[in-house]
Amino acid sequence: MRGLMTGQRAATGKPQPIPVSLMVIVQNALAHAWRQLLEEVAEEQFSICGEDEDIITERLYMILDDLYSNEPETIQGFSVFQTPVREGNVRNRAGNKLDCQPDLTFRPLRDQLEARSSAMAAIFVECKPIDSTHPIGSTYCKAGISRFVREDYAWAVDRAIMLGYVRNICPLPGGLAYVLDSDAGQKSTESRKD
């Protein structure tokens, strides 16, 4: 028998399907938290355009935690998840990287998925800024989407979320499609062996 204490093997089989209904709950929670963050920054000396990705993500996380802990009914269905996690370490599919850190993780409570284990069956969110110093190709795709493609994150499930902090006039999704459809864009998100 192989297991946690006796050895490790690469995961096999099909990814666990995540119901669209659970994805909608997470998207609604993120959208609600974002609107609340915008209200908060309007009242203080904080500029989303000038802040680091980690600071914005931490603020979103704290809003999500407060919603979950104190007002879960604000987001219909939010209570079918565990408390959201920020940068919860997970291993990649091959098992040769143990400290992969998606920015936010939403794990459904027991019985929401058919998975035998909830450690890897979650909705993983990777957050990236998009602006003149963080272009779509190098930041959003190469440093973001590629983590899903090369199976660092979300390899045990059939869907995940990229969250872009758009801070300029980059038109989405057209700007994203342009990058992903280009040769350079495709190479930046290719699966590769590290």
How far from the centroid of its chain's Cα atoms is residue 55's Cα? 16
Beta bridge partners of 134: 131
pLDDT digits (tens, 9 = 90+) for 109-120: 877 877 666 678
Specify the 3-state DSSP secondary structure of 127.
Answer: strand
Whole-structure pTM value: 0.80
Q: Quick one: which of 188, 193, 191 has its CA closest to 138?
A: 188
pLDDT digits (tens, 9 = 90+) for 149-190: 888 888 888 899 989 888 776 655 655 665 566 665 555 555
Task: Please report whether residue 54 resides in a domain.
Answer: yes
Task: Please report whether residue 6 resides in a domain.
Answer: no
pLDDT at 32 over 70: yes
Task: Please report whether residue 148 resides in a domain.
Answer: yes
Contacts of 81 (CB under 8 A, 6+ apart): 22, 25, 26, 68, 106, 107, 108, 109, 112
Task: Please report whether residue 4 resides in a domain.
Answer: no
Task: Please report whether residue 63 resides in a domain.
Answer: yes
Question: Read out DSSP for 54-101?
Answer: HHHHHHHHHHHHHHHHH-GGGSTTGGGBPPPEES--B--TTSS---B-
Question: Alpha-carbon distance 69 to 79, whole Å?
Answer: 10
Task: Please report whether residue 11 resides in a domain.
Answer: no
164-186 as b/e: b if 16+ CB within 10 A: bbbbeebeeeebbeebbeeeebe
Task: Please report whether residue 136 resides in a domain.
Answer: yes
Q: For residue 64, give its domain range.
A: 20-188
H or E element in which residue 26 lies: helix 20-42
pLDDT digits (tens, 9 = 90+) for 42-72: 888 677 877 889 999 999 999 999 999 999 8
Contact 126, 147 (CB under 8 A): yes
Task: Please report whether residue 3 resides in a domain.
Answer: no
User: How many distinct structural domains can be found in the chain?
Assistant: 1
